A and B are shown apart, each in its own frame.
Chain A
């Protein structure tokens, strides 16, 4: 490939190089710039559903995980307008499910929570839906707490694309959309889910949890206790460095 000179675009005035085929968020992460995101993961095909990574490209909002980087684009990211919109999206996710952080073992290591800290979400703002979403504790090693699902579909993609399985799928429509597992019983224990699956370790929130290891890391030492998510390199980006 001819890479003598990479094309560039600007992100909040900063020049960001990119290679052909990279999306805006991929180029930003490679350049060490944080764009809030939840359903995006560097290892998987972009989904574009959470809309947290919405940026303004040449004056128009678009999801940076699905928008290809193009030469000379003018991209806005860290602006009050966009951050306010992202904050509202977060508040929507918080009222849509049942997110009780104090009793969640993912607390401190949760991408939803850390992103909400980053964007200074002080309250969920809207009226809560308080949906009824029973927990699936059938599997001997893993627990599914659907109350916290944000429908990012990372587990669906990981199971399908990395594990070659189809343990998870989305069902329902609209506000009734929900995660299901691939078993007639509807229970995780009756799927071919395994603790070594990529899907077992991909959930950005506290839905897919390994049993009997919760709260092992003391408060103060968890992933996002030390520094905010914006200063926490993506595990993959870090690995690349």
Chain B
């Protein structure tokens, strides 16, 4: 019986996750890694075993880009489709790849060997173009590398046997400051914590004026205090490593090289708020970091920095589980992330209540960024005042910037807050810069006149992405790429974002096809107002930003698409007769529309 095939591997996975429905996403992810996709029988079996409605499980599978209830091919190849990948030639490389393997993008090859598609930014913008093959990242694609990969697939070589150089992800740290200079000693923050006490440690966090590094900048000490004071059966610490904002890759490096410092920050937080359980929510694109991170956790357990009676303290138990995402940018929103941690569709919750009081399993939960926890470890060791003395008065400490695009030295740059964009551009070797997109697709697009602005909460708050565009780039296409990103990543919960982001993507495509008129501009502005005022979460609020910014600052890029004075249809009328011409064999003048 077919279902027994599935029961065999699912039982192993289910046992590992104690048949806990909160781990549904992890179970599905592993089931797919094993079998290639989520088979209909597997869905039914999981429903029985987890006592969940089958349809709810199917709904989860349908939500996450990396999960599929249809066969995907032995090799699933996903080309990273951020604008930085495109600037490095990803579109041509994908065309070449498809041609070499006789496969159509978006489909499974007839022999079931592979499928090829695009995916949202994989966080390798500093070393793109990038792809994921069976969820494992490959960087620095070139026509030669593509040819080699096509050959390996044709030979059915297991991905594990591919040349290690394909998977050699670099850290690319270009400028170090207090976080990246590597002085942190594992265990030192916990030692300081035990010496000082939990409350005094919280005071140090307060004194440091540390603010959340995810971009919103909420005071970390306050968040921890609110959570500590919230009543609940249990408290939780969650590290948000769902680094999905296009152009951001600092967490990739922090977790690859400074994971100890991040985990130690989480452990500090646990002590302060009284949590016994923590989660690292790692984006699915960073699947390749999983083994390394598990090893770091294991080492910390063996050093008694994690687990029972940490550093010999009778009442200090804390451990960390890693949850992997499965291709959903919206899960970077903290309440959507919590839904995802609970094994559900990553739909942002209605807020209030906020996670500090009603988070994971409806219990008080701190959700902080990877960089925030890393900074907390430093503060515990060196003190809040020391930290507050760095940066500006409003924005203390340093910020790690992920720099990519048109510059000589892409990579990570850590600066004290207050650094100007111009300084960053000079340091990374950017020339003839036309624009800088700060904070990714949802952020702000700066023109040269604004390059003297500062990276700081009081000027440009950011999670740290800086994508550089030189004079050769078409800023309309940049915005169009971002708009498609939002349409792809909209969770679909609320009407304005679900429909509006797709309408917006269609409108940008309309302009790209040369069907634009002032009418379309007015429509885009109308959509923007609506999305900003009625969307459920930040994704919808931000979805029009790239278009509005570029219209305001790079109008010529749009002007050349404003071919018509009057309304023109979005679709090509003559093309709309193609099928009829083919079926009738006609090609007379009446079988065509003259172009308008």
- Residues of A in contact with B (beta carbons under 8 Å apart): 46, 48-52, 54, 61, 63, 66, 85, 88-89, 92-93, 95-96, 126-127, 129, 150-151, 166-177, 180-184
With both beta carbons as reference points, the residue of chain B lying nearest to A176 in the complex is identified as: B492
Q: B503–A92 contact, CB under 8 A?
A: yes
The 25 sampled A-B contact pairs (Cβ below 8 Å) are A49-B536, A51-B496, A51-B535, A54-B533, A54-B534, A63-B536, A88-B530, A127-B503, A167-B55, A168-B55, A169-B53, A169-B55, A169-B59, A172-B492, A173-B65, A173-B328, A173-B491, A173-B492, A174-B489, A174-B502, A175-B492, A176-B492, A182-B53, A184-B40, A184-B54
Chain B residues with Cβ below 8 Å from A180 are 55, 58-59, 62
Chain B residues with Cβ below 8 Å from A166 are 53, 55-56
With both beta carbons as reference points, the residue of chain A lying nearest to B570 in the complex is identified as: A127
Q: How far is the CA of A170 from the CA of B536 in the complex (A)?
A: 17
Q: Mark B298-339, 1 if CB is under 8 A from A, else 0.
A: 000000000000000000000000000000100000000000
B142 within 8 Å of A (CB atoms): no
B118 within 8 Å of A (CB atoms): no
Contact of B345 among A52, A126, A170 (CB under 8 A): A170
**Additional pairs, 9, CB under 8 Å, beyond known A50-B495, A89-B495, A184-B40:** A49-B495, A51-B534, A170-B492, A171-B55, A172-B62, A173-B62, A175-B490, A183-B55, A184-B54
With both beta carbons as reference points, the residue of chain A lying nearest to B501 in the complex is identified as: A174
With both beta carbons as reference points, the residue of chain B lying nearest to A165 in the complex is identified as: B53
Chain B residues with Cβ below 8 Å from A176 are 492
Q: A85–B58 contact, CB under 8 A?
A: no
Q: How far is the CA of A127 from the CA of B576 in the complex (A)?
A: 15
Q: How far is the CA of A38 from the CA of B37 in the complex (A)?
A: 36
- Residues of B in contact with A (beta carbons under 8 Å apart): 40, 43-44, 53-56, 58-59, 61-65, 328, 345, 350, 487-496, 498-503, 506, 526, 529-530, 533-536, 570
* Smallest CB separation, A185 vs chain B (Å): 9
Q: A89–B496 contact, CB under 8 A?
A: yes
Contact of A92 among B54, B493, B496 (CB under 8 A): B496
* Smallest CB separation, B145 vs chain A (Å): 31
Chain B residues with Cβ below 8 Å from A126 are 503
Q: B487–A175 contact, CB under 8 A?
A: yes
Q: B495–A171 contact, CB under 8 A?
A: no
Q: A182–B54 contact, CB under 8 A?
A: yes
Secondary structure class of chain B's binding surface, majority of residues: helix
Q: B498–A172 contact, CB under 8 A?
A: no
Q: B501–A181 contact, CB under 8 A?
A: no
Q: A170–B59 contact, CB under 8 A?
A: yes
Chain B residues with Cβ below 8 Å from A177 are 492-493, 498
Q: A151–B533 contact, CB under 8 A?
A: no
Chain B residues with Cβ below 8 Å from A168 are 55
Q: B530–A89 contact, CB under 8 A?
A: yes
Q: How far is the CA of A125 from the CA of B493 in the complex (A)?
A: 22
Q: How far is the CA of A63 from the CA of B494 in the complex (A)?
A: 11
Q: B350–A46 contact, CB under 8 A?
A: yes
Interface centre among A66, A92, A96, A129 (most CB of B within 10 A): A92
* Smallest CB separation, B340 vs chain A (Å): 12
With both beta carbons as reference points, the residue of chain B lying nearest to A51 in the complex is identified as: B534
Chain A residues with Cβ below 8 Å from B58 are 169, 171, 180
Chain A residues with Cβ below 8 Å from B491 are 173-174
Closest 4 CB pairs of A and B: A166-B53, A171-B62, A177-B492, A169-B55
Contact A92-B499, Cβ < 8 Å, known A166-B55, A184-B44: yes
With both beta carbons as reference points, the residue of chain A lying nearest to B493 in the complex is identified as: A49
Q: How far is the CA of A98 from the CA of B356 in the complex (A)?
A: 42
* Smallest CB separation, B119 vs chain A (Å): 13
Chain B residues with Cβ below 8 Å from A170 are 59, 345, 492
* Smallest CB separation, A16 vs chain B (Å): 21
With both beta carbons as reference points, the residue of chain A lying nearest to B350 in the complex is identified as: A66
Q: B530–A85 contact, CB under 8 A?
A: yes
Q: How far is the CA of A167 from the CA of B55 in the complex (A)?
A: 8
With both beta carbons as reference points, the residue of chain B lying nearest to A96 in the complex is identified as: B499
Contact A85-B534, Cβ < 8 Å, known A92-B495, A174-B501: yes
Q: A171–B494 contact, CB under 8 A?
A: no
Q: A51–B536 contact, CB under 8 A?
A: yes
Q: B490–A174 contact, CB under 8 A?
A: yes
Q: How far is the CA of A74 from the CA of B211 in the complex (A)?
A: 32
Chain B residues with Cβ below 8 Å from A96 are 498-499
Q: How far is the CA of A172 from the CA of B16 in the complex (A)?
A: 28
Q: How far is the CA of A173 from the CA of B487 in the complex (A)?
A: 10
Q: A173–B495 contact, CB under 8 A?
A: no
Q: How far is the CA of A168 from the CA of B328 in the complex (A)?
A: 23
Q: B498–A151 contact, CB under 8 A?
A: yes
Interface centre among B59, B64, B350, B496 (most CB of A within 10 A): B59
Q: B495–A93 contact, CB under 8 A?
A: yes
With both beta carbons as reference points, the residue of chain B lying nearest to A52 in the complex is identified as: B495
Chain B residues with Cβ below 8 Å from A88 are 526, 530
* Smallest CB separation, A240 vs chain B (Å): 24
Q: How far is the CA of A96 from the CA of B53 in the complex (A)?
A: 28
Chain B residues with Cβ below 8 Å from A54 are 533-534
Chain A residues with Cβ below 8 Å from B533 are 54, 61, 85
Q: A171–B59 contact, CB under 8 A?
A: yes
Q: How far is the CA of A54 from the CA of B530 in the complex (A)?
A: 11
Chain B residues with Cβ below 8 Å from A52 are 495
Q: A182–B55 contact, CB under 8 A?
A: yes
Contact of B494 among A49, A169, A181 (CB under 8 A): A49
Q: How far is the CA of A93 from the CA of B529 in the complex (A)?
A: 17
Contact of A95 among B350, B489, B499 (CB under 8 A): B499
